[in-house]
Chains A and B, each alone.
Chain A
Amino acid sequence: MSDLLKGNFDTAKPVVDNSEDGQTLEQRFEKEALKKLGGSIAFVAKQEVVWGDEDAEQDD
């Protein structure tokens, strides 16, 4: 019986989880910060960032 699947018989194949806890450190951090959001607790959701914004790249 694998950890992730629980039942009354052995499945044909096991379910193998190679990630630490399914979440990267970045995901864990952003989730915890979101719970306390407000005032000085603000953060960048790194997966949402749109890189190469033209306004930001103009150096005048």
Chain B
Amino acid sequence: MAKILFINPVVREEDDPRHVPYGIALLAAIAMRDGHQVQVYDENAWRKGPEILKQVCNADRWDVIALGGITTAYGSIKNIVRIARDECPQALIVLGGGVLTSLPREMMGFLPQVDVGVIGEGFITLPEILQKVDAGEHDWENVDGTISRNSDGGLVISAQRALLEDLDSLPYPAWDLFPLEEVYFPNSQVLFSEEGMLAKRRLDINASYGCSLVCRYCYHLGIAGDMKYAPDANNELQVSFDEPGNYSRSIRYHSPEYIVGLVKHAYEKYNLDFVGFLDENLMTMDQYSKRTWLKEICRLWKENGLQPTCIRDGVEHDEHCRGVHWSGTSHATLCNPETLKIMREAGCSHLIYGYESFSPHVMKTIGKGATPKTNMRSFFWTLESGIRPIPNQIIGFPNEDFQAIYENMDAWKKLGIVVKPFFATAYPGSEWFTTYRNWIVEQYDGDLEKYIQDLGDATRITAVISHNFNAVELLGLRELMMNFDYKRIEEYEQYWRRNHNIPDGAPSTIFQDPVKNKAKKAANIRLAAGNSGSH
């Protein structure tokens, strides 16, 4: 059987490692289930640098070195595959995850050390690759869901891999192969709620795949039915994602029995006190299941003795509390008060809401399926249920203007929201990456790899997709917004209007919809890019 080394690359280097990589933990469990010899080196957890990585590569004769992660892990992945190729010339290097999936051809070009890329879901593709390794075969084009190199060095994309339907057939993640006691449990704290702050033994679980919304800046890793394959003019297969007017989704979720069974197993084995649900949008699943899914999870949570004792006894949470608190993601329009109340009863401490904006004309363009009204309604429903809503905000949307800025500040003031907003960022795989790709790459001197290397948290500025504001303006405006400095923003608005020849009273915008107005797109983009030079 194959000897496989999984490496988890570094992500969000500026913070402590806080999340066991759920996908790699599942893939490692699958490989062990199939009888392979498996080791995991969690570079993100240990952060030991190249010398230890070299030792890891030489610790055995690896048949396969497998790694993957989100787009922002690219820099670390690039370093790892270089070392892995030098130290282990015999090993098959396999790369998967969101980073490869969003740009398969480009990534294989940037990373010549990678032999096989796994596009999208790895649950069936990776075991099939390992079978081939055992059989001494290399015909990757016969393994669906891969990208590989032919003998001329050209790239070959095999047929699209079908998504796994029976999610409950997955084994539990191989958490034991990660440094839980050494690294992850000491970093359990999540500063989203009182219970999250006191968490000492947290693990994360992904209970569902997919989201019914079509936010233009969002990317679903090709594991949410969001990926499409089609031949191009040269009859070469190309992979694409959400595009204007062309969306696809597949909604899948584990049964409540699987989820609660997994939590109970982890509670008994690791003495957990907190579970973070990684799901993109728990409320999509709830709506899709006709409001049965979350209710049933909560019922089983209590039935299995996982309800936190502080909630059961109606006392303030403290370190003596037993049971498991949890958190997840919600959606302004899809949640309802009844479900929220049931969730709180079962121990839900906080829910992340991608409210993004409180400006009606901005919200209309972002694909969120929400309005300022549903944002506010869900905010109060959640607070009333006893759950903390985490109100994420984004500025710098394509049509963001002064009006939107004031509307956001007004809402933050009214709702007591303390926030440092993200900047609208078009990660590869998102609709806005497709729409604005040329402009984005222009901002990096035509070098796509430079853009990818620059991507990190969207709290940092990278490529701007706002038509009205350049990077300097966005940074300044965010700072002033956080201080509710209406006066300075209004003064700047006057200056901005003079610069753009927009009279008082007219909308403070030069936005033209690039989709509706495709013919004018190039001119439009030039106009916006010109902004940066004008101040």
Inter-chain CB contacts under 8 Å: number: 60
Complexed CA–CA distance, A2 and B58 (Å): 14
The reply on B177 being an interface residue by CB < 8 A is yes
Chain B: interface residue total (CB-CB under 8 A)? 24
Interface secondary structure of A, over-half rule: loop
- Return chain A residues, CB-CB under 8 Å to B179: 3, 6
A3-B182, A11-B60, A15-B59 are known contacts. Are A22 and B49 too (CB-CB below 8 A)? yes
Q: B48 to A5, Cβ gap below 8 A?
A: no
Q: A6 to B56, Cβ gap below 8 A?
A: no
Q: Give the distance to chain A from B180, nearest Cβ to Cβ, in Å.
A: 10
State which of A3, A5, A8, A35 has its C-beta within 8 Å of the C-beta of B59.
Answer: A5
Q: Give the distance to chain A from B42, nearest Cβ to Cβ, in Å.
A: 8
Q: Give the distance to chain B from A46, nearest Cβ to Cβ, in Å.
A: 17
The reply on A50 being an interface residue by CB < 8 A is no
The reply on B38 being an interface residue by CB < 8 A is yes
State which of B37, B48, B60 has its C-beta within 8 Å of the C-beta of A4.
Answer: B48
- Return chain A residues, CB-CB under 8 Å to B384: none
Q: B176 to A4, Cβ gap below 8 A?
A: no
Q: B39 to A5, Cβ gap below 8 A?
A: yes
State which of A4, A9, A13, A16 has its C-beta within 8 Å of the C-beta of B41.
Answer: A4
- Return chain A residues, CB-CB under 8 Å to B73: none
Q: B40 to A7, Cβ gap below 8 A?
A: yes
Q: 16 more A-B contacts (CB under 8 A) besides A15-B55, A15-B56, A22-B49?
A: A3-B179, A3-B182, A4-B41, A5-B41, A6-B39, A6-B40, A6-B42, A7-B177, A8-B32, A8-B39, A9-B37, A11-B60, A12-B59, A13-B55, A13-B59, A22-B48
Residues of B within 8 A of A (CB): 14, 32, 37-42, 46-49, 52, 55-56, 58-61, 176-179, 182
Closest 8 A/B residue pairs (Cβ): A7-B39, A11-B59, A22-B48, A6-B177, A11-B60, A15-B55, A9-B37, A12-B60
Q: What are 25 A-B contacts defined by CB distance under 8 Å? A: A3-B179, A4-B41, A5-B39, A5-B40, A5-B41, A6-B40, A6-B176, A6-B178, A6-B179, A7-B38, A7-B39, A7-B40, A8-B38, A9-B39, A11-B60, A12-B60, A13-B58, A14-B59, A15-B41, A15-B52, A15-B56, A15-B59, A22-B46, A22-B49, A35-B14
